[in-house]
Structure 1
Amino acid sequence: METIAVIDYGSGNLTSAAKALERAARDIGLSAKVIVTGDAEAVAKADRLVLPGQGAFGDCRRGLLAVPGLLEALTEAVRVKAKPFFGICVGMQLMVTRGIEHGNHAGLDWIPGTCQRLTPTDPALKIPHMGWNNLRLTQPQHPVLAGLGAEEHVYFVHSYHITDIAPADVLAEAEYGGPVVAIIGRETMVGTQFHAEKSQSAGLRLLGNFLTWRP
């Protein structure tokens, strides 16, 4: 039985993420143990890692740093031991090089890119981008996207988005007054700008695919 650690660093809808992962595992008949933890040792021992996130980029970064040993354990697990990783919302944004939100903040720099304010070309579009939107799969062959349709509906709540990222690292986009990076991925890492745990069947499919992914 694999252990999936939902990382608790004081940010993110942890209960919803954990319950969605449990439901996704049941749906595919997978025996998995989902834990919510901020303990560095537990994170180091987990087989798969999920990093939710809500709020400002800089605050979430500081939250990770504030938990003794957590960032080091997470980095070693993902970047050295190559354990599968799933970032959700700000948890995805933290994967890139830097975030420009109330200042300039260093990200984890696992995938080159910038997180900056969303600026739709249509001034009638409100910020934050909130609600259901269609996905356009740019790399439908990726295993985590298996079984998803051409225009799945998923649930967004965000005011910042990823830019300056290589097309090879973009798995899906949405449209909101211009293209918005919706899913990123590289090596053993994936992340969604939308809330996979709140995206009903499409989100459960993504999470289920992640749980069986062997990168």
Structure 2
Amino acid sequence: MIAIVDYDVGTVASVSNMLRKVGAKATITRDPDILRAADKLVLPGVGSFDEAISNLRRLELFDLLNELVVEQQKPILGICLGAQLVANGSEEGTLPGFGWIDAQIVRFKAASNTQLRIPHMGWNTITPTRPGIGIFTDAPDPMRFYFVHSYHMLPASSDDALATTDYGYRFVSVMGRKNVLAMQFHPEKSHKFGLQIFRQFSESFVAC
């Protein structure tokens, strides 16, 4: 069973619908017992970094997720803001993130000679840096996903960068370490491309 973490910041219904379309058993929950019983976790999110962290702490989910992800090594997929929360922290706020991956979240830096619009919004492609990794198995080429974000992930180690995207410059759009996957885009809004990601995550993903 896949538990979708409900912490009042996220597109939980859309994620649930996509998982069910690929045949996965999924539930939206903040119940500690259900989260502990789950085989895998999804951490979606939209909004601001500090609000998300504050909600997780208010609902007593922050320490629980650390227990499940770090100590029990449950596979987890972070989506958009949920992906950013796995990093150490963000330029958007002051609160620390989970730190499951050694990374910072930084605002897009638009060069003066470009027409780069922030937020980065709309469809864009990703280029795997480790195409053999299981999450990309049988994926269409090119892979196109829907993005909405003003900040992006900057991992300390290139080993944690699983895919990049071009928006004025190359940025890391998928990162991962061990049982943690973080995707800056919205697979739940990305039609067949998103369905393939959810299928691979639910059926075969264990670790990077």
Moved more, 167-176 or 74-83: 74-83
> What's the counterpart of residue 44 of structure 2?
52
For residues 28-51 of structure 1, the C-alpha deviation after alignment (integer angstroms, 9 at most, x for no partner) is: xxxx42100111221111111000
> What's the counterpart of residue 36 of structure 1?
28
Residues matched between the structures, number: 205
CA RMSD of aligned residues (A): 1.3
Whether the aligned pair in 1 keeps the contact of 2:101 and 2:155 (CA below 8 Å) is no
Asked if 1:167 is matched to 2:158, the reply is yes
Asked if 1:8 is matched to 2:16, the reply is no
- Whole-angstrom CA distance in 1 between matches of 2:199 and 2:101: 23
Identity between Structure 1 and Structure 2 (%): 36
> What's the counterpart of residue 19 of structure 1?
17
> Where has structure 1 moved over 6 Å in runs of 4 or more?
none
Residue 21 of structure 1 aligns to a residue whose secondary structure is helix
Displacement after TM superposition at 1:151 (Å) = 2.3
Displacement after TM superposition at 1:164 (Å) = 4.3
Residue 87 of structure 1 aligns to a residue whose secondary structure is strand
The TM-score with structure 2 as length reference comes to: 0.94
Give the partner amino acid of 1:23. Answer: K
Displacement after TM superposition at 1:100 (Å) = 1.2
For residues 37-71 of structure 1, the C-alpha deviation after alignment (integer angstroms, 9 at most, x for no partner) is: 11122111111100001001111111111103x22
> What's the counterpart of residue 28 of structure 1?
none
The TM-score with structure 1 as length reference comes to: 0.91
Residue pairs, 1:1-215, within 5 angstroms: 3-25=1-23, 32-68=24-60, 70-101=61-92, 103-121=93-111, 123-212=114-203, 213-215=205-207
Give the partner amino acid of 1:85. Answer: I
In structure 2, list runs of 5 or more residues that go unmatched.
Answer: none
Give the partner amino acid of 1:153. Answer: R
Displacement after TM superposition at 1:179 (Å) = 0.8
